[in-house]
A and B are shown apart, each in its own frame.
Chain A
Amino acid sequence: MIATVGTIAVFAAADPVPWARSQMAFTLMFHIILVPLGVSWTFMTLIANYRALRHDDRDALLLAQRWSKYMAVTFAVGAVTGTVLSFEFGLLWPRFMDQWGEAFGVPFAFEGLFFFTEAIFISIYIFGWRRLRPWAHFWTGVPIVLAGILGSVSVVAANAWMNAPTGFTTNSAGTVVAVDPVRVIFNDSMPLQAAHMVVAAYLVGGFLIASVYATAMLRGRTDRYHRLGFIIAFSVAAVATPIQMGVGDSLARWVYTNQPVKFAAIELVPTTASDVPETILGRLGEDGTVSGGIPIPGLASWLSDPSTGRATVVQGLDTVPADARPTVDQVNIVHLGWDVMVGLGTLLFLLAVWYGATWLFRRRMPASRWFLGAAAASGVLSVIAMEAGWIVTEVGRQPWIVYELMKVEDAVTANTGVWISFAAIVVLYVAVGVTTILVLRGMSRRFRRAGGFTDHDAPYAPGPPVQAPSEQEKVP
């Protein structure tokens, strides 16, 4: 018995596939939390900065300056966790990169360009507050916003290519012999997937930051500074949410047409049928039957193509061999991820409607504690929704790393020590994640105690000995 367990443990440690998969998933799911902050926070900071300069609004100025200091921390963590991913493509999936690198890699050549721009201008913006002229300083923030959007579009283009591989020719041995870079980048899945991620970045970033200010307001800090912080962030999220529902709906229909097996996993459809119900929760059993959950008759068919309504035929999982579709467990994970994403997205949409309606009819933000309580939860909920969406895309594509062309098990590294690097990365990332939150909280508390900025509260800022204040500054 013990020997059996021991043997299983050795084999589990030796087979790199589950470990490589876990490590990639863990590092990506960690990094994706920092992405919305990197992409959309600068935009919100620039709104505050613009207001400060245009209307001489000092609350807005303070907000913009403090946000840029927080951003310095989250951007640094995002930059290094993003770098790890570029190591992992090769370290975990060398055969994938060997065979497909020349096609899959192309979008990253442009992503590098945008990331470079982002890193340059975020440094100028964060460090330039004191000595650059106010409007010139404001404009140094604009390239960060554009580069953030285009950078995430480039990365998602690479992921979309894995879902819809196009723009290359192979010879009889399966080796890539010619690449059309434009078709690789602008593959069929790219426009909707990229839009879905960019809007998600604004949605999650907005809710995440707004939730911090909602919490503060619930604790009685209802001054104008906190209200302004909330309104800027929540408004961005509230605009993004309905757009996201539209984009998500189109993307789901794209999946219905182009990745029917993934769609069958999403909708829990074991065999091809029309009048397919939208099953809320529920699970697929090993015998191929769906149990539990709340089926809404015909809705999945109707949503897939409203023009044919409930008569729309949805392809089932059993139309492809078992080794070319997700396993039963994977199907259940995908379906649950889908329910969580859509469910939370709908709740966030209702919250955005509440906010919008109050503005429309009363010309102010909702004052109810129920609203603030929901808004305080919206940050975490939106992150969960985004992670669930990531799971739907990635697990739904299994067992393929390149859709219908290469399986994950054929792409993985031959190194059997991946479980060690996975363990090390989990320990390091958990420490970094917890520390990031503690550091951000510490900064916020110090800001609150000091009222204004102190010399020591920011990353990278010089300490007192080097600061060498000019004569003018020494005079009180």
Chain B
Amino acid sequence: MSTAVAAVLLAAVVAYAVFGGADFGAGFWDLTAGGAERGARPRAVVEHSIGPVWEANHVWLIFIFVVLWTSFSEAYASITLTLFVPLMIAALGIVLRGASFAFRKAVVATWARRVFGAGFALSSVLVPYCMGAIMGGIASGRVPAGGRAGDPVGSWINPTSVVGGVLAVTAAAYLSAVYLVWDARRLDETDMAEYFRRRAVISAVVVAVTVAVGAVVLHADAGYLFDGLTSRALPVVILSIACGVAALLLLGRAAARGARALAVVAVATAVVSWGVAQWPYVLPESLTFTAAASSSGTLTAVLVAVALAVVVVLPGFVLLYVLDQRGLLPEEGVADAADRVADRPVGDGPAGGPDRTRLKESGT
């Protein structure tokens, strides 16, 4: 049963990387979009793209934590004790990012938008770096078992963590650029689609270089993981690389839709390959999933919650994405209250009149 819960955990990490990761990547493009005027249009595409979905995507992270602390409590304790600093930075970054993103749209002054925009964009880079560094610390076996603290500094400032952090930032940026190509096309912004396509290609190359460098680093610094990647996880690794290359070729030929699917598979399989490579360990070479697993009552409860999620949450999640992709979630509230009334048979008056007059009219 612990294997099933471990699979759920891995699936949640994949979902967070594919959905939440892209939102962080969008923050990266927000950061690099340039000054207030030059960057206005790409930023608008970014906001439009992640606005309705980022909160739901963000819940995957909470889900990961919950599965970890209920089902593999010992591993959770060891991780939080050892990696206190990057986790705390990530937590603060998440607050800064979510609040800034919400505030930015609620203010009008350019200076205020700039401040919140900077808060959002900088933390969008900081948080995935920390997450990648945390993964690097875990994967390279720097977190000891037994709810004990490992090296508080070396556990996240080390070669594998640097590779993990850079890979998380660049892969998120890459994935996000690929999504944004599609989103810009949907909005009939062909030049913006081209803008993000170029960035998708560049970031794909950067990811490829990071992976190549990473392979050398892992060979030297994270032996167990490297062995896993070149043996049990090899088919997954090959699939990931193949999808990545195919996506790059399609992007070169401006076929966004196929590229998007392939890019998602490439990133998802990359995460899966990490999980397979460090199997059967939750903390490589010191704690296996089986040894860390909670008693069967708890694992059953978690699996029941997951089954309920598949029945209750998944349709909602799909609905959210379908509505979003069909452009049915265009903006928050309405631009003008009269639009909605005008759609209705009993409605009266043209759209867009000043609101005060309507308030006076309505005396029911």
- Residues of A participating in the B interface, judged by any CB pair closer than 8 Å: 55-59, 61-62, 65-66, 68-69, 72-73, 75-77, 79-84, 86-91, 94-95, 97-103, 105-106, 108-113, 115-117, 119-124, 126-132, 134, 143, 176-181, 223-225, 413-415, 417, 421, 424-425, 428-429, 432, 435-436, 439-440, 442-443, 446, 450-468, 476
B96 CB-CB contact with A under 8 Å: yes
Complexed CA–CA distance, A115 and B59 (Å):
7
5 further interface pairs, Cβ-Cβ under 8 Å (given A98-B76, A124-B323, A129-B340): A82-B62, A123-B329, A428-B95, A451-B359, A458-B106
Residue of B61, B331, B361 ringed by the most chain A CB atoms within 10 A: B331
- Closest Cβ of chain A to B115, distance in Å, is 10
Known: A105-B69, A460-B47. A56 touches B364 (CB 8 A): yes
B98 CB-CB contact with A under 8 Å: yes
B101 CB-CB contact with A under 8 Å: yes
Complexed CA–CA distance, A90 and B64 (Å):
13
Q: Which residue of B lies closest to A127 (CB)?
A: B329
- Closest Cβ of chain B to A229, distance in Å, is 12
Contact B77 A101 (CB under 8 A): yes
Q: Which residue of A lies closest to B361 (CB)?
A: A58
Contact B187 A468 (CB under 8 A): yes
Contact B103 A179 (CB under 8 A): no
Contact B300 A87 (CB under 8 A): no
Chain B neighbourhood of A69, CB < 8 A? 332-333
Chain B neighbourhood of A451, CB < 8 A? 354-356, 359
- Closest Cβ of chain B to A169, distance in Å, is 9
Contact B338 A73 (CB under 8 A): no
Within 95-109 of B, Cβ neighbours of A (below 8 Å) are at: 95-99, 101-108
Chain B neighbourhood of A461, CB < 8 A? 47, 51, 105, 331-333
Q: Which residue of B lies closest to A23 (CB)?
A: B88
Contact B106 A109 (CB under 8 A): no
Complexed CA–CA distance, A56 and B44 (Å):
34
Complexed CA–CA distance, A121 and B315 (Å):
11
B56 CB-CB contact with A under 8 Å: yes
Contact B294 A456 (CB under 8 A): no
**14 pairs, CB–CB < 8 Å, chain A vs chain B:** A65-B333, A80-B95, A102-B73, A108-B69, A112-B63, A130-B330, A130-B335, A132-B323, A179-B294, A451-B355, A456-B105, A459-B332, A460-B105, A461-B333
Q: A83's contact among B53, B62, B301, by CB below 8 Å, is which?
A: B62
Q: B362's contact among A57, A81, A105, A121, by CB below 8 Å, is which?
A: A57
Complexed CA–CA distance, A457 and B308 (Å):
37
Complexed CA–CA distance, A56 and B297 (Å):
52
Q: Which residue of A lies closest to B320 (CB)?
A: A120
- Closest Cβ of chain A to B55, distance in Å, is 4
Known: A176-B295, A224-B363, A432-B95. A476 touches B105 (CB 8 A): no
Contact B66 A79 (CB under 8 A): no
Contact B332 A439 (CB under 8 A): no
By Cβ-Cβ distance, the 7 closest A-B pairs, closest first, are: A452-B355, A90-B80, A101-B73, A460-B51, A451-B355, A98-B77, A105-B70
B313 CB-CB contact with A under 8 Å: yes
Complexed CA–CA distance, A65 and B355 (Å):
13
Chain B neighbourhood of A111, CB < 8 A? 66
B125 CB-CB contact with A under 8 Å: no
Q: A76's contact among B55, B90, B297, by CB below 8 Å, is which?
A: B55
Complexed CA–CA distance, A143 and B334 (Å):
21
Contact A462 B337 (CB under 8 A): no
Contact A90 B77 (CB under 8 A): yes
B228 CB-CB contact with A under 8 Å: no
Known: A86-B66, A179-B294. A458 touches B108 (CB 8 A): no
B7 CB-CB contact with A under 8 Å: no
Complexed CA–CA distance, A115 and B55 (Å):
10
Contact A415 B84 (CB under 8 A): yes
Known: A127-B329, A181-B300, A442-B106. A414 touches B81 (CB 8 A): yes
- Closest Cβ of chain B to A426, distance in Å, is 11
Chain B neighbourhood of A466, CB < 8 A? 41, 44-45, 48, 187, 189
Contact B316 A61 (CB under 8 A): no
Chain B neighbourhood of A59, CB < 8 A? 359, 362
- Closest Cβ of chain B to A136, distance in Å, is 10
- Closest Cβ of chain A to B52, distance in Å, is 4
Contact B319 A117 (CB under 8 A): no
The main secondary structure of chain A at its interface with chain B is helix
- Residues of B participating in the A interface, judged by any CB pair closer than 8 Å: 40-41, 43-45, 47-48, 51-53, 55-56, 58-59, 61-63, 65-67, 69-71, 73-74, 76-81, 84-85, 87-88, 90-92, 94-99, 101-108, 147, 149, 152, 187-189, 294-298, 300-302, 304-305, 308-309, 312-313, 316-317, 319-320, 323-324, 327-341, 343-344, 346, 350, 352-356, 358-359, 361-364
Q: B298's contact among A84, A102, A446, A452, by CB below 8 Å, is which?
A: A102
Contact B87 A458 (CB under 8 A): no
Contact A126 B333 (CB under 8 A): yes
Contact A130 B339 (CB under 8 A): yes
Known: A90-B77, A94-B80, A181-B297. A460 touches B102 (CB 8 A): yes
Contact B53 A131 (CB under 8 A): no
Chain A neighbourhood of B107, CB < 8 A? 439, 442
Contact B364 A68 (CB under 8 A): no
Contact B105 A91 (CB under 8 A): no
Chain B neighbourhood of A76, CB < 8 A? 55, 98-99, 101-102
- Closest Cβ of chain A to B140, distance in Å, is 20
Q: B333's contact among A68, A106, A123, A435, by CB below 8 Å, is which?
A: A68
Contact B62 A115 (CB under 8 A): yes
Contact A177 B335 (CB under 8 A): no
Residue of B74, B91, B189 ringed by the most chain A CB atoms within 10 A: B91
Known: A97-B69, A117-B312, A124-B320. A77 touches B98 (CB 8 A): yes
Chain A neighbourhood of B77, CB < 8 A? 90, 94-95, 97-98, 101
- Closest Cβ of chain B to A361, distance in Å, is 25
Known: A101-B73, A109-B302. A120 touches B316 (CB 8 A): yes
Contact A98 B332 (CB under 8 A): no
Contact A178 B152 (CB under 8 A): no
Complexed CA–CA distance, A111 and B78 (Å):
24
Complexed CA–CA distance, A98 and B73 (Å):
5
Contact B105 A102 (CB under 8 A): no
Contact B62 A86 (CB under 8 A): yes
Known: A58-B337, A112-B305. A459 touches B295 (CB 8 A): no
Contact B52 A460 (CB under 8 A): yes
Complexed CA–CA distance, A398 and B70 (Å):
24
Chain B neighbourhood of A89, CB < 8 A? 65, 69
Contact B332 A458 (CB under 8 A): yes
Contact A458 B97 (CB under 8 A): no
- Closest Cβ of chain B to A437, distance in Å, is 11
Contact B344 A134 (CB under 8 A): yes
Complexed CA–CA distance, A131 and B341 (Å):
12
